[in-house]
A and B are shown apart, each in its own frame.
Chain A
Amino acid sequence: MKFEVHLDSLAGKTRHVVDLEKVGASYKVSLDGEPVDADVILAAPNAVSVLLNGTAFEIHIAPSLDGTYKLQTGPHEFQADIRDPRAWAGRKQGGLEAEGRQQIIAPMPGKIVRLLVNVGDEVEAGQGLVVVEAMKMQNEIRSPKKGKVERLQAQVGQPVNAGDVLCVIS
C-alpha cells in the first residue's frame, strides 16, 4: 500500500512516498522508491516502533483537529499530512506523480457536474479534470501526472459508478 507523507517541522517541509507491503506478520518497506531495512510495529497505543537499519525510533502519533497528525520522537516533532490511496478525493498539486498512461476512474458513485478539460488538452499533475458530485459534495478529480487528455468519456449530467473510467491521460 502506497502512502504519500508530507512532513512539516522547524527544519522545513519534505515529502516522502512510503510503500508498505504486508509479508506474513511484518512489512516490506520502501521509501521514496528504495527498499529499506525497516521493522515497524505498533508498540503501544499511539506509539509506533521503527527499527531502521537497526537504529531504534519510537514515534508517538496523535491526530490533530485539522486532519493531520502530530508526530513526536524524542525532542523532535513533525506535523504529518498523510495521503491515503484509499481516501477518495483527488490529490493536491505537487502530490505523487504517476507514470505511464493513466485511466482516471470515478472513486465512488455520483454524477458528473462539470468537465474542466477537453480532449487533446495538455494537463499538469494535480490539474482538475472532472467534477463529480456525490453525497451532495462536489469533488474534483485531478490528473495524477503531466500529460495529454487522450480520451474523455465523462459527460455532464451523467451518473457514474465507482470504477467507471472518466478519462485517459497519456
Chain B
Amino acid sequence: MFRKVLIANRGEIAVRILRACREMGIPSVCVFSEVDRTALHIRLADEAYLIGPAASRESYLRIDKLIDVARRSGCDAIHPGYGFLAENPALPRACADAGITFIGPSAETMETMGSKTSGKQLARRADVPTVPGTDDPIENPQDAQSLARTMGYPVLLKAVAGGGGKGMRVVPDDQAFASCWRDASSEALNAFGDARVFLEKYLHAPRHIEIQIFADAHGRVVSLGERECSVQRRHQKVIEEAPSTVVTPELRRKMGEAAVRLARAGAYVNAGTVEFLVDANLSFYFLEVNTRLQVEHPVTEQVTGLDLVKLQIAIAAGHRLPFAWETITPRGHAMEVRLYAEDPDNNFFPCPGKIVARRIATGPGIRLDEGVYRGWTVPIEYDPLLSKLIAWGNSREETIARLRRALDEYTITGIRTNVGLFRRILSEPEFLRGEIHTKWLDQLLARSHPPAVPPRLGTEAASAIAAAYWASIQPTNSSSGSQTSQTTPSRWKQEGRRSQLDRQP
C-alpha cells in the first residue's frame, strides 16, 4: 500500500479522498491556494502546502508544483479527484516521470477513451452501440433517404458546418424527407456557405444513464450498475439516482456488458464511467467515457455498499478486484442533489459569500458530502458546489421522502443556494413518476413558476415576531454584531444613508 497520498484537489472531493485515506491508515497531503488557507480540507489535513495564488491555473492546475510537493513530502501516489487535472493526461505522465503512482487510468487510456471521437471509434470496434449516423457528409438526397429508412425515423439532418441549431432539421417521417433535406441544405448554404449535411438517428427526449465500471491491473473488469442522471440544467447534472426507474435487470446486464467490453478494448484500469443515451424504446447508445471518479459516485456507493475511493486507491496499489462482483445488484434506492451557492431566482448566478450559520441534515438514510462549515467564506474563484446531499431508502418513494425531509432540515444562512430548485423538482408529478429526460428540467424551468406552497398558518406572524426579537437582541450602537457578516456596513452608516435618501428636497 502507499506510504502517503497527495490529494491534488480542493472542496468536497478533497475532503472525500482525505477521509478514505484516513480510514485506510494512509497519511495524506493536501494542497491549497492563497484563498483556501481556511478551507475544510486544510483544516482536516495531516499535512498541507501552499501551491500558489487563487487562480486555478497558478495553483491547482500547476503540475510542476504538485509534483514538487509530492516529492518533498514523500508521497508515492497522487489522487486527482474530479475536475482540475483529473482528465489531463499530462498529470499521469508527469507522475510516471517522477516515479509516483497516479490513482486513475494511464495517460494513453485517457487520450483514447476520453476524447469523444476516438471514444466513439473504440466503441464501434468493441461492438458498443453508438448513435447511428454517417461519419461523412452525404451528397445525394436519394442515398440519404434510403439510409434514413434503414435507420428508422425520426432522423436528424445536421449541417457539416452547423452550429446554433442552424442547418438542422428533425425529419419525422419518410414523406417529409425531401422538404426537410431542401430546407436543411439551403439554410446551411445561406448560413455557412456549405450545403453538405450529415444524417443521424434522432433521439427524442433521451435519458442519460451511465455505468460505473472498475478495472484492476490484472485484467478483471466489473460493472457496478447504472446511475440515472437525466435531470440536467443546460447539460449540467442536477440530480442523480440509482437504480434508474427504466432499467430492467436485463437492460442493466446488457449495458454493463457493453461498458465492460469498451473498458477491455481500451485496456482501462481503475474507476471509470461509460455514459449512454437511452431512448424511449430502451435502446442505448454510447455517449462518452469519463476517465475518473464522478461527482455522483456516492449514489453507487449507497446502493452497492462499496467505497469507490478506497477501491481506487487499492487498485492503483496493484490490488485485485476480489470477486464475483460481476453479478452485483443494487440494493434499495439512492439519490443525490448538488447544492450550489447560486441564485435560482437570478438565472443561477453564482453567489458565494460567508456562511453565517448552518443547520445540517442528518438522520436515517442521509449522507452529506461537503467541504464547507459555518463561518467560512465560499470563495468566488472556484466552482460554487457546497454540498452533495445524498439520501438512501428501501424504495424510490422512501428515498425521495428522506431527501425532502433532509432538504427542509438543511439550512444555510448568509448566502443563497439552489435548494428551492430541488424542493420544486422533488414535488413535480413527472419526476415522481420517473418520466424524465435530458431536456426535462430546462423545459420545466421555462414554464411559469407554480404557485408557491402555501405557508403553514402563523408563518408570517412567527417571522415578524422573530424579526422583532432578533432586532431587540442586537447591540444598539455597535457595528460588530458577532453574527453579522464582515461585509455588512455599520448600522449607523446604513441609518445615515437611509435618512439622507429619505430626505425630501
Chain B residue with Cβ nearest A86: B476
Which A residues are CB-close (under 8 A) to B467? Answer: 3, 5, 7, 18, 59, 61, 69, 71, 78, 80, 82
| Chain A residues engaging chain B, CB cutoff 8 angstroms | 1, 3, 5, 7, 10-11, 14, 16, 18, 20, 27, 29, 31, 36, 38, 40, 42, 44-48, 50, 52-53, 55, 57-63, 65-67, 69, 71-76, 78, 80, 82, 84, 86-90, 92, 128, 131, 135, 137-140
Residues on B with beta carbons closer than 8 Å to the beta carbon of A59: 462-463, 466-467
Q: Whole-angstrom distance from the CB of B344 to the nearest CB of chain A?
A: 12
* Minimum distance in angstroms from B227 CB to a CB of chain A: 27
- Contact with B469, one of A48, A76, A90, A135 (Cβ below 8 angstroms): A48
CB distance A57 to B466 under 8 Å? yes
Q: Determine whether the beta carbon of B408 is less than 8 Å from that of A75.
A: yes
* Count of inter-chain pairs, beta carbons less than 8 A: 171
For residue B479, give the distance in angstroms from its CB to the closest CB of chain A: 11
Mask: chain B, 435-479; 1 = CB below 8 Å from A; 0 = not: 000000000000000001101111111111111111111001000
Q: A46-B356, A82-B467 are in contact. List 16 more A-B contacts (CB 8 A).
A: A3-B468, A11-B452, A11-B455, A16-B464, A38-B462, A46-B413, A52-B461, A52-B462, A59-B466, A60-B411, A61-B413, A66-B494, A72-B413, A75-B453, A89-B499, A137-B499
- Residue from B455, B468, B481 in contact with A82 in the complex, judged by beta carbons closer than 8 Å: B468
B472's partner among A20, A46, A90, A139 (CB-CB below 8 A) is A20
Q: Which of B18-26, B293-301, B484-492 contacts A (4 or more CB under 8 A)?
A: B484-492
The answer to whether B466 and A40 have CB atoms under 8 Å apart is yes
Query: Does B495 count as interface, using CB distance less than 8 angstroms?
Result: yes
Docked CA distance A132–B466 (Å) = 33
Which residues of B377-415 have CB atoms within 8 Å of chain A's CB atoms? 408, 411, 413-414
Interface contact B484-A63, CB-CB below 8 Å:
yes
A73 to B455, CA, bound (A): 10
Identify B498's interface contact among A53, A61, A69, A89, CB under 8 A.
A89
Query: Within 8 Å CB of A11, what residues of B?
Result: 452, 455
B-chain residues with CB within 8 Å of residue A18 when the two chains form the complex: 464-465, 467-469
Query: Do B458 and A67 touch (CB < 8 A)?
Result: no
Query: Which residues of the partner chain B approach A10 to less than 8 Å between Cβ atoms?
Result: 452
**A73–B459 CB distance below 8 A:** yes
Contact B499 A82, beta carbon cutoff 8 Å: no
Name B468's contact: one of A5, A57, A74, A90 (CB within 8 Å): A5
Contact-residue bracket for chain B: 35 or more
Among A27, A53, A63, A76, the one with the most B-chain Cβ atoms within 10 Å of its Cβ is A63
Question: A65–B461 contact, CB under 8 A?
Answer: no
* Chain A, Cβ-Cβ closest to B474: A84
Indicate if the CB atoms of B411 and A57 lie closer than 8 Å: no
The chain B residues found within 8 Å of chain A, CB to CB, are: 356-357, 359, 374, 408, 411, 413-414, 420, 423, 452-453, 455-473, 476, 481, 483-485, 487-489, 491, 494-496, 498-500, 502-504
The answer to whether B455 and A76 have CB atoms under 8 Å apart is yes
Contact A69 B411 (CB under 8 A): no
Kindly list chain A residues whose C-beta atoms are within 8 Å of the C-beta of B413.
46-47, 60-62, 72
CB distance from B504 to the nearest CB of A (A): 6
Residues from chain A with a CB closer than 8 A to the CB of B460 are 7, 14, 16, 78
Question: Judging by beta carbons under 8 Å apart, are B483 and A67 in contact?
Answer: no
Q: For residue A19, give the distance in angstroms from its CB to the closest CB of chain B.
A: 8
For the complex, give the distance between the alpha carbons of A36 and B460 in Å. 13
Once A47-B357, A71-B466, A71-B467 are accepted as A-B contacts, the answer to whether A137 and B500 lie under 8 Å apart by CB is: yes
Neighbouring A residues of B487 by C-beta, 8 Å: 65
Contact B462 A44 (CB under 8 A): no
Instruction: Report the minimal beta-carbon distance from A67 to chain B, rounded to whole angstroms.
Output: 4
In the assembly, what is the distance between CA of A47 and CA of B414, in Å? 12
Q: Interface centre among B413, B457, B500, by most A CB within 10 Å?
A: B413
Q: Kindly provide the distance from the CB of A145 to the nearest chain B CB, expressed in whole angstroms.
A: 18
Q: In whole angstroms, how far apart are the Cα atoms of A82 and B458 in the complex?
A: 19
Are B458 and A31 neighbours in the complex by a CB distance under 8 Å?
no
Chain B residue numbers with a CB within 8 Å of A138 are 499-500, 503
Closest to B493 in A: A67
Q: Tell me if A139 and B356 are in contact (CB < 8 A).
A: no
